[in-house]
A and B are shown apart, each in its own frame.
Chain A
Amino acid sequence: MAGDGFVPPSSADFFFHPIFGTNILGTKPVLLVGLSVVLISVFFIASSRKAAIVPSRLQFAGEGVYSFVRHSLGEEVIGPEFLKFIPFLFTLFTFVLCNNIFGVIPLLQFPTMSHIGFPIALAIFTYFVYHTVGIRRHGLVKYIKDICFMPGVPKYIYVILTPVEFATYFIIRPATLSLRLFANMFAGHLLLLVFTMGGKYLLTSTILMKILSIFSFGFAVGLSFFELGIECLQAYIFTLLTALYIAGALADEH
């Protein structure tokens, strides 16, 4: 790849030939998603299996994540009816978090969510859940009506407000939800690629360049930690927004 000149990383670096077989199901992101399902379920089932009052170290770790979702994403955002949404929010958070963190795990080193298909899948769930909650709570007609005609607003404002609100609830929310996650992961991974591939390219050059490559690799390492922060944050944001949408659908007025 490093031929005559430096070839900067492009989106092509995000697409892989299948590792197993010839099907897309054998590609790295798909395998990573499968791995994440195994890792998450094994960890949390193992850590919750005994569920003692005085937790073991493993249970403490599992419960730490669970109670984080339960309290700061569930109870505080959704309110008294939070408990039935906890499994969904918990799955969402752990799934996104684990797949994001794959981006800085040595050898794996690929954030699955930088393939937009996966954030879209998650956004579809969120979309489905919050609309279902709203329709169940208010009935289909009132739900749509409340979205399109926000109560307590002068009539002529509806000319602007109605299209905006409708688009927000039915198009913008799922689109931004999936795009935000995808774009953060994509950009972050691309940034790491720039510095690692750049460093690698510098190594093929003169002595001075080889010395300079240290900085490039050092930067990549530093950015990895930065990326880790962003990965956690994005998992949090995705789940928080989902919880907010559910809370909004449950509320009497949108």
Chain B
Amino acid sequence: MSNNLWVLAASEAGPSPVIPQPAEIIVGLVAFSILFFLLRTKAVPKFEEAYRERTNAIQGGLERAEKAQLEAESTLRTYQAQLADARGESAKMREEARTEGAAIIEEMRATAQEEAARITASARASIEAERQQAVNSLLNEVGTIATSLASKIVGEALEDQARQSRVVERFLADLEESK
């Protein structure tokens, strides 16, 4: 009741504002205590829980990312090594192929030359053989022709004594002239 009077008195006179009203202090204490209890039991633990979860999530995520990065790096290194190996190998193979190719070409060329030489030689031999044959047959032919010619000449001489004597005479004359 004294509070009530105090309020009424205050509203009329305008009391000193620095003198506290005990009831308000008590109200303040009680109100703050209630609020403190509510926030402490209901709000703060939840906020802290969210913080923890978030920290865990972020930290976990970071760790995972770090691990993934390390893995990726090692894989990359492996691949690079493999790639370098493969490159070296391919260079070696190319080199081998080149020397091998050169050898093959060389060999082919030798073979071809040999063959050509062989063909030339055989051609030359066959030409020689044919020429020989031709010469032989020509000689035969010439012999035959000469014989027949001679026989013809001889025959005619027998048939025509007069002509023969003329021939002999011409021959003798020639001989005479050449003396």
Contacts and interface: CB of A to CB of B under 8 A. Distances in A.
Interface of A: 10-12, 14-18, 22-25, 27, 29-30, 33-34, 36-37, 40-41, 44-45, 47-49, 51-53, 55, 59, 62-63, 66-67, 70, 83, 86-88, 90-92, 94-95, 114-122, 124-125, 179, 182, 186
Given A122-B28, A125-B32, A41 B44 contact: no
Contacts of B21: 24, 115, 117
Contacts of B34: 37, 41
Given A11-B15, A59-B50, A23 B3 contact: yes
10 contacts: A11-B14, A12-B12, A23-B4, A45-B39, A95-B32, A116-B17, A118-B28, A121-B27, A122-B32, A186-B17
Given A12-B12, A117-B21, 16 more contacts: A15-B11, A15-B14, A17-B11, A24-B4, A24-B7, A27-B7, A37-B31, A37-B35, A44-B39, A45-B42, A63-B47, A83-B48, A92-B32, A117-B27, A117-B28, A121-B29
B11 A12 contact: yes
Contacts of A179: 18
Interface of B: 3-4, 6-8, 10-29, 31-32, 34-36, 38-40, 42-44, 46-51, 53-54, 57
A129 to B, nearest CB: 11
Nearest to B6: A24
Q: Is the interface of A mostly helix, strand, loop or mixed?
A: helix
A120 B28 contact: yes
A116 B23 CA distance: 11
